[in-house]
Structure formats: structure tokens, C-alpha cells
Amino acid sequence: LGTMELNGPEMVRSAIQSAISLGYKRIDCAPVYFNEEHIGDALQNEFKSGTIQRQDLFLTSKLASPFHKRDLVEPALLKTLSDLRVDYLDLFLIHWPVAFYPVPIDMSVRGWPDDAVDDSDGGKNIDPSVTVKETWMAMEELVDKGLVRNIGVSNFPVALLHELLADCKIKPSVNQVEIHPYLQQRKLIDYCKARGVHVQAYSALGTAGYKEPGEPSVLDDPVLSDIASKRGMSVAQLCLAWSMQRGCSVVAKSASPKRQKENLLLEIDQPQLSEAEMKHIEELDRGYRFFRPEDWWGSMAMAVFD
């Protein structure tokens, strides 16, 4: 279950409650979604009611960019653990391979008082002195201390992932990246498979709630609509099935119990698309990103995507 854009305690509580009641076991979080304290409260309700136990849940969160310096990685994790009201994570990811200048961490309050943790100020807050290796060494220490079970990365292109894999004690278990029919990332997926790094797709439906006016709509694509119609499924279900057939797991956000159930049943049944259907979808690739660092970070976005 993805949790981006689950806003406010009531929406979060309802989404978490319905997802867990349906059988969801994986929940994907991040400090910059500004809802981890609400997720923590919702999870505690489920633990106390006996609906699920902590050990049966796979909980993921991410390291925000202001905390990439080695001495800040653990405090940032402890803040997330406090907000989520748990004592370990199953997976901790470097959210973006770019460091910002530090912002204060206030452990006396849950949540974040403002958006400073996610504010690059048009790239002015990017700290070019922090290396991925420095951050990764601190991530490895979290595993050694038992604070996280697995570590990984997010939004890492091949070049940065290759550099990280060349000199690490613990290999990243996951690379979570934007993948949908308009951004298929074939070379990245092939590289990750060759190096034993699992690929997890976010924005698998083209982020309908995030995209700006005038941007293309994956869910309204005529080719996808035609294939989905012939199969008796929605375009959203088709996109999820396509990603899973390519060997990727999927982070899909929904607050709707109906859509949560559809997504979960699809993951369980995993319908197989034909070779011709996969080929038709492959032809839709246009290298289109809905999440574009160059829009946020100015010229410093060159540190991530070309």
C-alpha cells in the first residue's frame, strides 16, 4: 500500500484499516509524505485490536534528503520510528540520491512542523559535498544495530547504482523507481536483475492525482483501454499486471476499499498478458517522467537524471 497523498488522520486511519482487513502486508511510507505520525497511530489501532501483529507487517520508509550526512542518518531513522510507533523497519530506502543541507530534527513532537524536510529552494539547499557512499555506510550501520532489516535505494539511475554496488558491505535489496507504460525503464530493470537488486515500481498508474494539467494520462491511453476492455479489467489493473509480469513489485496508493481489493486480488492472481499485448504496451514507452527533479532543483537535477 502506497501512502503518498493520504492526507489527514481520518483518511490515513480509514485506508490503513481497510487495507489490513483485506490482507495487505506491505506499507510504503516516507517522511516527505507528511503523514507518518498518522500512519503510526493507525497501525497501533490495528496492533491493539489484534487484526495484525507487527512481525506480520512489512514496513518501508525512506531517508529524506536533509539527513544524508553520516551522523544524521540514524537520528532521521529514529524520528521515523517514533512517528510510526515501531522499533524497527523492514526496509529503509535512500529516497533520492541527492543531499540537502540539514534541517533540525525535533524528537519531542511527532510529525514535521513544516515542509523544510522536503524543500530544496529551487536547488539552493542541495549540498554537493555529501557522497552516496557516506550515506550508504551509515545505512549499513543501521542494519548492524538491528534498527532496519533491509536497506535499499530509490530513484537511482544505473550509473549511481553501479558506483554504489562497486564498494559496499551490504548490497541494496531494492531500487524503487517511477515505472509505468510511458516510462518503462527497460535498461534499468535489466541492470538491476543482472546485479540482484529487486525493482519496485512507484507511480505504476501514471500518478493521476499528481500529474499537472496538459500532461499525458496513462489511465486514458486508448491502447491500454482497448487491451483492458478485451480482458474485462480496468486500465489500472492492466498497468499493475504489466509491471508484475516484468518482474517488478508495485507500490499502489488507494484510500478506496474497492480499489484496494481489486489491486490485492490482481497481485494474488497475477493474470498473464500475451506476448502480443506486452509488445503493444512496450510500444507506448515515451520516456515520460511525472516526477522531474529538474523542475524542483534547477541545474542541480543533473545529479540524478540526464
Q: Is position 101 annotated as part of the catalytic site?
A: no
The residue annotated as part of the active site, out of 24, 33, 191, 202, is: 33
48 CB contacts (<8 Å, ≥6 apart)?
A: none
Task: List, as one string, the DSSP characters of the chain.
Answer: -B-TT--SHHHHHHHHHHHHHHT--EEE--GGGT-HHHHHHHHHHHHHHTS--GGG-EEEEEE-GGG-SHHHHHHHHHHHHHHHT-S-BSEEEESSS--B------TTSSS-SSSGGG--TTTTTB-TT--HHHHHHHHHHHHHTTSBS-EEEES--HHHHHHHHTT-SS--SEEEEE-BTTB--HHHHHHHHHHT-EEEEESTT--TTTPPTTS--GGG-HHHHHHHHHHTS-HHHHHHHHHHHTT-EE--B---HHHHHHHHHHHHH-PPPPHHHHHHHHTT-----SS-HHHHHGGGGGGT--
Cite the active site residues.
33
